[in-house]
A and B are shown apart, each in its own frame.
Chain A
Amino acid sequence: MTHRPDLIDPGRLAAEAPPAHHTFGPDVLAGIRERAELGRYPIRGWGARRAVPDFDDLLLLTASASRYPLEGYRERCDTRTVFGARRAARPVVLDIPITIAGMSFGSLSANAKEALGRAASMVGTSTTTGDGGMTPEERSASRTLVYQCLPSRYGFNPTDLRAADAVEIVLGQGAKPGGGGMLLGQKVGARVAGMRTLPEGVDQRSASRHPDWTGPDDLKIKIEEIREVTDWQIPVYVKVGATRVDHDVRLAVAAGADVVVVDGMQGGTGATQDAFIEHTGIPTLAAVRLAGDALADLGLTTDVGLIVSGGIRTGADVAKALALGADAVSLGVAPLVALGCNAPTYRRRPVPPPDSAPTGASDSAYVEVDVSAEYAALGTAPGHCVHCHTGRCPVGVTTQDDTLAARLDPVLGATRVANYLRALAMETTMLARACGKSDVHRLEPEDLVALTVEAAAMARVPLAGTDWIPGR
């Protein structure tokens, strides 16, 4: 598909002008025109863009007279997070409770995958493969690499499985629970096609259901099979898109998962139908409490880990997610932004004159190249782009085009993502210390209040200034 800048893009309109709240707002009109023009559903990247109750609707009750805060620099506040110690010989040990989510090589460029792997290793956390398999760059750059097992099975093989530090069985994603992966033809380049044993340049819609099992009873057998292949060495995660969270978490535990990953409706995607992104699943805020309570009810909070994702941006989001029961969070879109997504420029190292001696230029020596015009060519602008599905990413993050991909320097990119992750960890410990916690995992729902009745009902914490929890 060639991109048609003359078509009105719903994502762009939604971003530029907040949708008017009437039945036929400008975004709705744009969507109708796109469907009429193309005879198919609108497709885009990123997650839900409409306002849903989220972590911004919660506040932390930090210490004052009845409780005491811990000092920032002297008094410890642990962030170490361990997954799978009960069953796996090699549990996953993370220095911070902030991980990088599964994003496929195909949706992301090889440089982006490598940069994320390097960044995760720099801060002692994990990164995750995605639909389409494991690249050698990603494996060698990542200290801890989680290998996804998706319905498509693209790029899934026993060799890479044994090279992984954990395996994540994906039942669904928050952006499209019940739907399968999607990679449009313009991103199915030779290397991607080879890894997926597909023809080049053809739109690819992945399966939405695993081919060899359905239901939790079979999942139990699948997990045993994976444990045997990996000789009980590595933890097994199960990822679900947040819909019937209470049931799904209990079933994942019953099937033998070491970690349940719950991805809320705001969760990002490389390319998905807009109807899925905006109209399926439940907000991350509601999902984390349901999942945390389900695990607590099973008495397994310390045994089975909970990773939550979908719209996590700041250390405050992390602290609140942990308080509601998560052991760690997982990030998709945010590290892409740290890599340069939606920035007006990309950064590259200066090319030295041909006859000059090597300068040993540091990572901070780079030049900025403006690419605003390329955003405009996509029908968008820096700050409003959700066009990952086009493969024409102006900053080289979500593309398979060699020229575009070369705009992302994996070393420079890794430094920025590592800085971002470190800053999130610092914010999280700062808030945990202010709540008197010597470990970020000791944040609890009682440390939170809600700003809105909706958030109070979903997170099951009192409305600020009251002791009222809706429904209690």
Chain B
Amino acid sequence: MCGIAGLHLKDHTYRERLGAMVAGMLRGVARRGPDSAGVAIHDDVPDVPDVPDVPGVPGVPGVPGVPGQAVPGVPAAPGAGLTVFREVGDPEEFAARIGLAGRAGVRALAHTRMATESAVTAAHCHPFVAGEERLCLVHNGSFANHATIRRRLAGLGIITETDNDSEVAAHWLAARRAAGDDLTTALRRLTTTFDGFFTLAVTTADSFAVVRDPIACKPAIIAETDHWVAVVSEYQALLGLPGLADAVVFEPEPEEVYLWAS
């Protein structure tokens, strides 16, 4: 269905290398999601420009469904830069176009999509960004009761932009966070609220989290060293990471919330 990759730096001396590391991880999951791709990069350097330098379309809102057009970077939360790119088309070409390998940051999510029920447009690409804190989410799998949850959110005045199932989860999590849940609690609640199969990776300005559904059929591998922690859909996507030989590599347990905060 999709490929996901997430990287969280414990050691910020790797900051300049983050883009290259994520580009390799994205390549490793590219075949799982050939129709579109996206990345979200958090940085701790406040002077990151809000609108990234996208070749051809600087600052222009993405045109749905047209390859090569990006959803521009979203404004950063105070003190923490967040840049998001989402495009229809081949993931590796996408990575080259946005110059992913040259980008710096401290935490990132990447996604390659094989659409299930909703359309293939830039707006339907992951990562989905939701709420005031600009929580980012990538999802591999599909939900089975998102229509009801979308209606409940709408009742609270929270309107999703698309009919995508994963977008509902992003907004639902943001709503739980706004209601006072910490990220671990919100994710735990998600596992009992959403039906379907899922591996989710979630980032905020200071946290990185992974959770899987109670059955945990969708693949996920976590690798952790003293310098970084990474989650991917397939082991091969880890291969280019520096120091992998010394990493603790494990499969996350069902319904367990794994969280790292800086």
Contacts and interface: CB of A to CB of B under 8 A. Distances in A.
Interface of A: 63, 65-68, 70, 75, 296, 299, 301, 435-439, 442, 444-446
Interface stretch (B43-51, B141-149, B221-229): B141-149
Contacts of A445: 147
B197 interface: yes
B147 A63 contact: no
Interface residues of B, number: 16
Contact of A68 (B148, B152, B217): B217
B142 A67 contact: yes
| Chain A binding surface SS class | loop
Given A299-B155, A438-B195, A442-B195, A66 B142 contact: yes
Q: For B148, B151, B152, which residue has the most chain A Cβ atoms within 10 angstroms?
A: B148
A185 B8 CA distance: 81
6 contacts: A436-B144, A437-B144, A442-B145, A442-B148, A444-B145, A445-B147
Contacts of A70: 215
Contacts of A68: 142, 144, 196-197, 217
Interface of B: 116-117, 142, 144-145, 147-148, 151-152, 155, 195-197, 214-215, 217
Q: For B145, B155, B214, B215, which residue has the most chain A Cβ atoms within 10 angstroms?
A: B145
B144 A63 contact: yes
Contacts of A299: 155
A296 B196 CA distance: 23
A371 to B, nearest CB: 48
A435 B151 contact: no
A446 B151 CA distance: 12
Contacts of B155: 296, 299
B145 A67 contact: no
A326 to B, nearest CB: 13
B195 A436 contact: yes
A75 B144 contact: no
A296 B195 contact: no
A285 to B, nearest CB: 19
Given A66-B116, A66-B142, A436 B196 contact: yes
Nearest to B156: A299
A63 B117 CA distance: 12
Contacts of A63: 144
Nearest to B147: A446
A439 B217 CA distance: 19
Nearest to B193: A442
B214 to A, nearest CB: 8
Contacts of B195: 436-439, 442
A444 B147 contact: yes
A442 to B, nearest CB: 4
